[in-house]
Amino acid sequence: MSVAVPEVAALRKRLLSWWEAHGRHTIPWKLRADGHPPVPGEALDPYGVWVAEVMLQQTQLQVALPYWRRWMERFPSLEALAAAEEHDVLLLWQSLGYYVRARRLQQGARLLQGHPWPRTLEGWLALPGIGRSTAGSILSSAFDLPFAILDGNVKRVLARLIASPRPPARELNGLWQLSELLLDPQRPRAFNQALMDLGATVCTPRNPSCGVCPWQAHCAAYAAGDPAAYPVKEAPRELPFQVIGVGVVRNAAGEVLIDQRLNEGLLGGLWEFPGGKQEPGEAIAATIARELREELAIEVAVGEELITVEHAYSHKKLRFVVHLCTWRSGEPQPLASQQVRWVRPEQLGDFPFPAANARIIAALLERL
């Protein structure tokens, strides 16, 4: 599961030489406040690095970058984030997905207030939502400390380097050992960034550019003749599918009813239009009426369909069948949520909604 020790020095030198000429050197949280790259051993702002690394846990760099810029403008410091209203934090995170990351960032900010920034793996792992690779990336990026990383790009690069015969999830210990072995202790920040850049720009999932790879001569997957066959993939599994009936409930004043999810799960704390799962053999209108009765204690008249939205999460596929509804009776109560609220349709943009709701809101505004 490893490269020969004499090769390690050559691999480090080749990778760093390639990175100095072709790496991504304009990532803002990897630069000093004056826009220049840090010298070896120089510390960077750990707050900006931490925010970026959490965003990058489930998001590509080009997608996360504008969110990071807006975040740093709105919450420029640990203290600003700790003092912010959760509503504002979630609203700024909207459409980035996996909203639990935003809540964990704020929880971490409140835990870190009044304490020095951690410079140990254990110190970062004690914060919510921080795993070993994220902690290693923060420590190497912010403080230039010698901690290895193993994100998706790095797993792919290392699995190809040794032509690992099993999926990365089944070889994590070996890949971690390899990442630690290869890490340049003199330039850990540059080496880890070079490793990530290699995976992002050269050793890509499909059609890797092996002709310009600094590790081509050492790569077992390239020697085998089919580098794209690595990493070996897990057998695909079929995602469960559910139909969700959703009610856009309007009152006589033209307001619509929204409720705030409990602070649990990936979408905790976000607002949504009420509804729930369709039972076997149940008509969708009956689903909506039942769910609103059970979750909000109200009676509605289910009207015409507004829109159907398909949305896939990492663990399931959903179809939201959305109907316009008229409120008939009952004072809305948050029986399965934090709170409920009547709002004007034009105010919906002031609330953080899951990504799947954006098309529902657009369809509603177009209808009015």
Question: Could you tell me if 196 and 27 are in contact, meaning their C-beta atoms sit under 8 angstroms apart?
Answer: no
CA distance 156 to 270: 34
Residue 268 confidence (pLDDT): 87
Per-residue pLDDT for the chain (368 aa), expressed as one digit of tens each? 567 666 999 999 999 999 999 999 999 999 999 999 999 999 999 999 999 999 999 889 999 999 999 999 999 999 999 999 999 999 999 888 888 999 999 999 999 999 999 999 999 999 999 999 999 999 999 999 999 999 999 999 999 999 999 999 999 999 999 999 999 999 999 999 999 999 999 999 999 999 999 999 999 999 999 999 999 998 888 889 999 999 999 999 999 999 999 988 778 899 999 999 999 999 999 999 999 999 999 999 999 999 999 998 878 999 999 999 999 999 999 999 999 999 999 999 999 998 889 899 999 999 88
What token pair was written down for 343? Answer: 């709002």
Residue 166 confidence (pLDDT): 95
Question: Could you tell me if 289 and 324 are in contact, meaning their C-beta atoms sit under 8 angstroms apart?
Answer: no
Residue 5 confidence (pLDDT): 66
Q: Where are the alpha helices (DSSP H) in the chain?
A: 5-22, 46-55, 61-74, 78-83, 86-93, 100-112, 121-125, 132-143, 152-161, 172-182, 188-201, 220-223, 284-296, 357-367
Amino acid identity of residue 283, one-letter, is A
What token pair was written down for 206? Answer: 């499909």
Query: Over the Cα atoms of the chain, what is R_g?
Result: 24
Tokens 């009956």 sit on residue: 286
Sketch out the chain's domains with CATH numbers: 5-229 (1.10.340.30), 241-367 (3.90.79.10)
Tell me, yes or no, if 79 is annotated catalytic.
no
> What secondary structure letter does DSSP report for 237?
-
Give the active site residue among 7, 20, 53, 294.
Answer: 53
Cβ count near 21 (within 10 Å): 8
Provide the β-strand partners of residue 236.
Answer: none
CA distance 18 to 9: 14
- SS3 at position 341: strand
CA distance 261 to 324: 21
Residue 2 confidence (pLDDT): 62
Question: Could you tell me if 263 and 103 are in contact, meaning their C-beta atoms sit under 8 angstroms apart?
Answer: yes
